[in-house]
Structure 1
């Protein structure tokens, strides 16, 4: 008799879990995380015995439940209360997923009203990352300029009592740049950001840089090309509103301050066309999205979210130059700075792009290639392999 309540509670929990799975998935959570929903994996003998199928199926189940955002927030809130709280900040241990379906153990530091990812260098993955960029250069015509840009995160420029808990991002960036083919130019974004650490160049509750931070990255890119950068004063500044970013949503904590979404209208004097391409149900399709989505009030304000393929055409610029950006989400507020320097900009996300870069180069007169990612991307070998696979 005494066991009946336990059985009833267990059955209710089981039924609730099943109901969550069969209800519509929380699509909004993937927009906020800038990735696509995990698809049902294919079961093969190799994937079954290697454990790959079990891992992928677990990700599939986690991605296809209703109220995912609310459940994650509740779980992260409980985890956050388990965080270690030394005098120099609160340390939280969690999982990190950059949208490649591989989950790594991660460490977050909450200090000075910010939540910051703690970087741990992975030299093997860093070598694979450098090899992936070298592979791009080897497979394209020699008259195309190739640039590599790695973006450090805000913990690197925080007080030493905080930044000392992680691997040196500068050393990791320098090490990767040193392995690049001489044909490839490493863009020194690090120094530009280092010179402006007293400005609002990173969000407090999100891992991305602000549009002001990406402006300094843009000036570094133009400097690497030997070209002048547009003055920031040329563009009208707007404030979209306050918000809590992705890291806060994953790890809600009362010590984290809200952010303000500020943006500069680089499109005002430009005649822009923005088109996206993707694959749905095995078929390619095209759609449009604004460069600045004023219906959003978080980082997805820029291009509405990440997309597999984006083409921006500025009909006001007739120089015939085309920039290909192979990127993660850090390019979303960087590329708007470049739209007045190129007739066409193509953005490709290795995590979701299903095309072949050989075809892309054959079909477009690409003049420059920029591989732009944030430093944590270099610790995910599967992301590096995705860049390599784009030429297969």
Structure 2
């Protein structure tokens, strides 16, 4: 009963603005955010891919075979990268360049208190103490777009996320802090964050995964041409439902994701890590506001991925929805990958680590989760 109450409390927290950055939608189940109705998201979403029609395990809708696009990262002219104007919208969200066409961008707030970030670090330290010296533990606090793309007049309205990440890192003991600030800064003229959604783009996750694999000492498939590139046009994400700013709907995102080409199998388990069912890693048929749920269909399941990588490394990714986009880029680097959302897990992490033989544990989530007390309580509560 206590654990069920904790799970319910964690899910409810995602409705608060401080936890918006870590929320996602789950296919077939109402997750932490309710998607807009179909009528409200009447934006055509086309998928560009070269695969055969894909049928998921949870739907019979197929994705038609169409033409492919060049498999390179698209750069944006520097003068179009950084906004010049901004205004407030609902939920303390800043709308940048509202009347400047496709430059419009909705930016999530971030607030922090050093003591809360240090509490999060202490929880991660306790995980490291639990697993001992033979298991590697990493923290990846993923910065929000608001760290990099704030209009000049709004530059100081939110807390500095670089300072927040350093604050967490300073309190970690034998836990490696994967600091992404410089990694993201190096690619700000690429499509690494969505403009209409609170998540990052998969391209941002690609650069982050490369940084993590470097820290973990495993090979990384860094050549984007080695992945299959899929493109969904007309992606108007969650920021419209948070703000109802019509210009976001008028200028939707392009959602581009990448599929690994090595051999792997995927099994989905329930929150208690029972009742496994084989399935697809990508839910290609999702559209509209749900495009980000293309990865594993959302958040609530525990996902097991077994790959043809022969290095004996088994990583457990403990994440919020930001971590979902990392998963495809880990498939070429680890023998086994387990993905669990701390907000829904009903198995203790101690038991999970022992069952799967974890060699590496990555806490990969939005920086907001590391500064939200309820989220930290969830992470602490599932430790075991």
Q: TM-score range by the shorter chain?
A: 0.7 to 0.9
| CA offsets 1:211-243 (integer angstroms, 9 cap, x no match) | 111111011102212444322232232212221
TM norm structure 2: 0.73
Name the larger-Rg structure: 1
Give 2:316's match in structure 1, choosing from 324, 331, 337: 324
Q: Deviations over 1:137-171 (max 9, x none)?
A: 01103111111111111111114433322110000
SS of equivalent to 2:247:
coil
Question: Which residue among 298, 301, 313 is the counterpart of 1:305?
Answer: 298
Correspondent of 1:125 among 116, 124, 144: 116
Q: Secondary structure at the match of 2:93?
A: strand
Given the alignment of the two structures, is residue 186 of structure 1 paired with residue 177 of structure 2, yes or no? Answer: yes
Partner of 1:144: 135
1:196 match: secondary structure? coil
Matches within 5 A, 1:370-381: 370-381=362-373
Distance 1:185 1:204 in 2: 30
Q: Give the Cα–Cα distance (whole angstroms) in 2 for the partners of residues 68 and 219 of structure 1.
A: 31
State the TM-score, normalizing by the size of structure 1: 0.72
Q: Alignment partner of 2:365: what SS?
A: strand
How far is 1:34 from its partner? 4.7
Distance 1:153 1:68, change over 3 A: closer
Q: Residues of 2 paired with 1:34 and 1:130: CA distance? A: 28
Q: Which moved more, 1:300-309 or 1:220-229?
A: 220-229
Distance 2:310 2:300 in 1: 26
User: C-alpha distance in 1, partners of 2:220/2:93?
Assistant: 35
Q: What secondary structure, in the 3-state scheme, does the structure 1 residue paired with 2:115 have? A: helix
**Deviation sequence 1:253-288 (CA, Å, 0-9, x none):** 12323011111121x3x22211122259xx953334
- Give runs of aligned pairs for residues 295-374 of structure 1, distance below 5 A: 295-297=285-287, 298-314=291-307, 316-374=308-366
Aligned equivalents of 1:90, 1:326: Cα separation in 2: 35
Provide the C-alpha distance between the structure 1 equivalents of 2:143 and 2:196, rounded to a whole number of angstroms: 16
Q: 1:32 to 1:360 in 2, by over 3 A?
A: closer
Identify if the C-alpha distance between structure 1 residues 34 and 374 changes in structure 2 by more than 3 Å, giving closer, same or farther. Answer: farther
Quote the Cα distance in structure 2 between the aligned partners of 1:140 and 1:32: 29
Verify: 1:91 aligned to 2:84, yes or no: no
Aligned partner of 2:257 in structure 1 is: 263
**Structure-2 separation of matches of 1:162 and 1:191:** 21
Q: CA deviation at 1:37?
A: 4.9
Once residues 227 and 32 of structure 1 are traced to their aligned partners in structure 2, the CA distance between those partners, rounded to angstroms, is 29
**Quick one: which of 144, 169, 190 aligns to 1:199?**
190
* Partner Cα distance (2:345, 2:271) in 1: 9
Structure 1 unaligned spans of 5+: 1-30, 39-58, 75-86, 95-106
SS in 1 for 2:207: helix
- Which deviates more from structure 2 when the two are superposed, residues 322-331 or residues 285-294? 285-294
Aligned residue pair count: 306
User: Which position in structure 2 is the counterpart of 1:48?
Assistant: none
Aligned CA RMSD, in angstroms, stands at: 2.7
Distance in structure 1 (CA, Å) of the matches to 2:35 and 2:366: 26
Q: Residue 264 and residue 69 in structure 1: after superposition, are their counterparts in 2 closer, same or farther (change >3 A)?
A: closer
Q: 2:95 aligns with which of 110, 119, 130?
A: 110
